[in-house]
């Protein structure tokens, strides 16, 4: 409970009532978090912190029957079904696991979903450390028990590798009784996830593979990004970009239109980058000093000559 008397100092400090005849100084207060995306963590004193973050929602082009469009529409429908979930005795929550090659649009889809959520006045929270995340969500629900939220677990395989899966599984199972929540997770390596994660409905209700854009999506994307292309030129761009992920399509436009490089050579380079898997094993049989080794040996031989 917060004292609502007018603030009379330049810093906005107020008196927070912590108990009968007990007070602490606090900063400016608000009844609700502003709609937006937040990174959450506990400070050194164990107090939850919610730090706003920018969400760059790339311009996504989806057809009504595309998988990303279906996901967005399903989540929008989900928010209106709370009474039905309650009627059948279920927590109003949903989970989506998105997997696929890097650059295929998983993060872009997540950002677009978050942009939709924010536009509707709701919230998104990003998990870094599951233990801190759960405590922050518990405190958030103490203040705003009914507000819809999206919980984001980017590279969930890395989160589990760093912190284990115990806290995360409890959260996904709904053991903390957090309602009105959509869990969104992404991974480039689904094979690293235990079957307890990928084969248990209500942890993740939809496990969706996000692939590189097909010809129809590439044509729509490139036609919008490079509107000066003729029909024949656009068809050539679409053909040369076959199999490239969204991130590579963006680089194709930048490299050709902004940097002045050749279309065919750029497409070839991007395809080689997509197929390349760099490894330190490439240097296993390389002399330590490369071409300089002969010169070094000659210098050493001179040093060994008697004076």
pLDDT for the residue numbered 149: 96
* Topology given in CATH for the domain delimited by 67-209: Rossmann fold (3.40.50)
Q: Read off the pLDDT of residues 29-41 as tens digits, 9 standing for 90 and up.
A: 889 999 999 999 9
pLDDT for the residue numbered 215: 93
Mean pLDDT of 119-145: 95
The residue ranges of every structural domain in the chain are: 1-29, 67-209, 215-275
Out of 59-63, 68-72, 239-243, least confident range? 59-63
- pTM of structure: 0.80
Residue 174, Ramachandran bin (φ over 0: left; ψ between -120 and 50: alpha; else beta): left
pLDDT for the residue numbered 278: 74
**What is the 3 state secondary structure string of the chain?**
CECCCCCCCCCCCEEEEEECCEEEEECCCCCCCCCEEEEEEECCCCCEEEEEECCCCCCCCCCCCCHHHHHHHHHHHHHHHHHHHHHCCCCCEEEEEEECCCCCCHHHHHHHHHHHHHHCCCEEEECCCHHHHHHHHHHHHHHCCCCCEEEEECCHHHHHHHHCCHHHHHHHCCCCCCCCEEEEEEECCHHHCCHHHHCCCCCCCEEEECCCCCHHHHHHHHHHHCCCCCHHHHHHHHHHCCCCCHHHHHHHHHHHHHCCCCHHHHHHHHHHHHHCCCCHHHHCCCCCCCCHHHHHHHHHHHHHCCC
Give residue 59's pLDDT band: very low, low, confident or very high (50, 70, 90): low
pLDDT for the residue numbered 287: 62
- What the block records as the tokens of 153 is 């677990």
pLDDT for the residue numbered 301: 54
Mean pLDDT of 284-298: 56
Give residue 299's pLDDT band: very low, low, confident or very high (50, 70, 90): very low
Q: Read off the pLDDT of residues 148-162 as tens digits, 9 standing for 90 and up.
A: 999 999 999 999 999
Give residue 306's pLDDT band: very low, low, confident or very high (50, 70, 90): low
Mean pLDDT of 46-68: 79
Residue pair 97/185 in contact by the 8 Å Cβ criterion: yes
pLDDT for the residue numbered 20: 92
């Amino acid at each position: 409970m917060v004292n609502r008397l007018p603030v009379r100092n330049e810093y906005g400090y107020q008196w927070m009532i912590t108990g009968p005849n007990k007070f602490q100084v606090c900063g400016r207060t608000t009844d609700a978090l502003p709609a937006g995306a937040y990174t959450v963590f506990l400070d050194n004193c164990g107090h939850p912190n919610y730090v706003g973050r920018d969400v760059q929602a790339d311009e996504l082009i989806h057809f009504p029957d595309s998988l990303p469009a279906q996901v967005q529409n399903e989540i929008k429908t989900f928010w209106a079904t709370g009474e039905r979930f309650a009627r059948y005795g279920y927590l109003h929550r949903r989970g989506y696991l998105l997997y696929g090659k890097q650059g295929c649009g998983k993060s872009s889809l997540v950002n677009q979903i978050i942009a939709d959520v924010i536009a509707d006045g709701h919230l998104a929270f990003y998990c870094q450390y599951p233990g801190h995340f759960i405590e922050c969500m518990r405190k958030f629900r103490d203040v705003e028990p009914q507000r819809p939220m999206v919980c984001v677990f980017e590279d969930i395989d890395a989160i589990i590798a760093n912190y284990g899966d115990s806290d995360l599984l409890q959260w996904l199972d709904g053991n903390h009784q957090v309602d009105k929540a959509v869990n969104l997770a992404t991974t480039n390596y689904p094979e690293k996830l235990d079957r307890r994660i990928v084969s248990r409905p209500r942890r993740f209700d939809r496990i969706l593979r996000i692939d590189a854009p097909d010809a129809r999506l590439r044509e729509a994307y490139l036609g919008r990004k490079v509107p000066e292309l003729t029909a024949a030129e656009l068809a050539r761009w679409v053909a040369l970009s076959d199999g490239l992920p969204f991130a590579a399509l963006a680089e194709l436009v930048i490299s050709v239109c902004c940097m002045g490089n050749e279309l065919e050579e750029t497409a070839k380079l991007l395809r080689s980058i997509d197929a390349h898997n760099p490894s330190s094993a490439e240097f296993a049989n390389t002399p330590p000093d490369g071409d300089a080794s002969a010169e070094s040996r000659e210098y050493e031989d001179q040093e060994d000559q008697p004076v």
